[in-house]
């Protein structure tokens, strides 16, 4: 398929946003919304492409963005959700209010991946050294209050045994399997899920979610509706939270 270029390169500014540009974008969106990103920069008088505007708004300027370090709870949630969902950053972000997919992706690649790798090697030791948080760059004046600095989080591993397979099928399997692949290198013996867990939990969950969950297409693109898709996502989140709880209890 022939595609239109992302944006006309000529005359459009790139690179870091200035505070003025930020204010212009915020003011325009507050006044007119962002129904059409492509037309927005022209309407707002910005020399940026719509894509850049959208990214800036979503990742930095949205009023509900939570700035500041991730808490250990958030990091743990990301680890667990990534184990479930793989690199579906937007889906993971949807589970973490105020956090963006880009931010989560960055945190994963800079902190959490290493943390998992080191914990798999040393059983939860050797958290990466943290350097002081650098001050925000452009548009810091627009930032809301930042959240409390993250407490140094203990090394933690969340993984399933590599050979573990699911009894469900199709795209749900794909999702889970891909997440297993993604975390395969960091798998450890710390958290194992056996067949009895799955049979029990799935039986429980199928009851609570009504019929159909055990069948295919749970994650497929042809899911019936967004709401059902959310339900399905809830299912898997719930499933893993339960798994986590069970594991925690078993360690007591």
The residue written with tokens 């979503």 in the block is 58
- Residue 199 and residue 179: Cα distance in Å, rounded? 20
Q: Site for DNA (CB under 7 A): which residue of 10, 31, 33, 132? A: 132
Between residues 18 and 165, which has the closer beta carbon with respect to DNA? 18
Measured from the CB of residue 127, what is the shortest distance to DNA in angstroms? 10
Measured from the CB of residue 135, what is the shortest distance to DNA in angstroms? 7
Residue 144 binding DNA, by CB under 7 A: no
Residue 155 binding DNA, by CB under 7 A: no
Measured from the CB of residue 137, what is the shortest distance to DNA in angstroms? 6
Are 102 and 89 contacting, i.e. CB atoms less than 8 angstroms apart? Answer: yes
Residue 170 binding DNA, by CB under 7 A: no
Contacting DNA within 18-77 (CB under 7 A): 35-39, 48, 50-52, 54-56, 59-60, 69
- Residue 139 and residue 123: Cα distance in Å, rounded? 41
The residue written with tokens 């059902």 in the block is 228
- Residue 51 and residue 155: Cα distance in Å, rounded? 37
Stretch that binds DNA, among 73-81, 88-96, 117-125, 200-208 (CB under 7 A): 88-96
Are 109 and 82 contacting, i.e. CB atoms less than 8 angstroms apart? Answer: no
Residue 184 binding DNA, by CB under 7 A: no
Q: How many CA atoms lie within 13 A of 209 on its CB side?
A: 24
Nearest to 53 by CA among 78, 35, 66: 35
- Residue ranges in contact with DNA by CB under 7 A: 1-4, 6, 14-17, 35-39, 48, 50-52, 54-56, 59-60, 69, 87-91, 101-103, 105-107, 109-111, 128-138, 221
């Amino acid at each position: 398929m022939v595609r239109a270029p992302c944006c006309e390169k000529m005359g459009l500014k790139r690179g870091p946003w200035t505070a003025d540009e930020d204010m212009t974008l915020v003011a325009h969106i507050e006044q007119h919304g962002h129904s059409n990103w492509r037309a927005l920069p022209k309407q707002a008088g910005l020399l940026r492409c719509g894509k850049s505007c959208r990214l800036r708004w979503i990742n930095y300027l949205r009023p509900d963005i939570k700035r500041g370090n991730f808490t250990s709870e958030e990091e743990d949630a990301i680890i667990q959700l990534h184990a479930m969902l793989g690199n579906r950053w937007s889906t993971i972000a949807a589970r973490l209010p105020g956090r963006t997919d880009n931010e989560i992706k960055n945190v994963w690649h800079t902190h959490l991946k290493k943390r998992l790798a080191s914990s798999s090697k040393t059983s939860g030791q050797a958290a990466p050294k943290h350097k002081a948080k650098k001050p925000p760059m452009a548009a810091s004046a627009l930032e809301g209050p930042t959240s409390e600095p993250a407490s140094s989080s203990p090394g933690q591993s969340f993984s399933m045994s590599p050979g573990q397979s699911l009894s469900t099928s199709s795209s749900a399997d794909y999702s889970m399997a891909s997440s297993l692949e993604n975390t395969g290198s960091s798998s450890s013996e710390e958290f194992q899920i056996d067949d009895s867990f799955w049979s029990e939990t799935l039986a429980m969950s199928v009851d609570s979610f009504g019929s159909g969950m055990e069948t295919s297409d749970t994650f497929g693109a042809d899911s019936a509706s967004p709401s059902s898709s959310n339900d399905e996502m809830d299912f898997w989140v719930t499933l893993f939270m339960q798994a986590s709880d069970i594991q925690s209890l078993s360690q007591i």
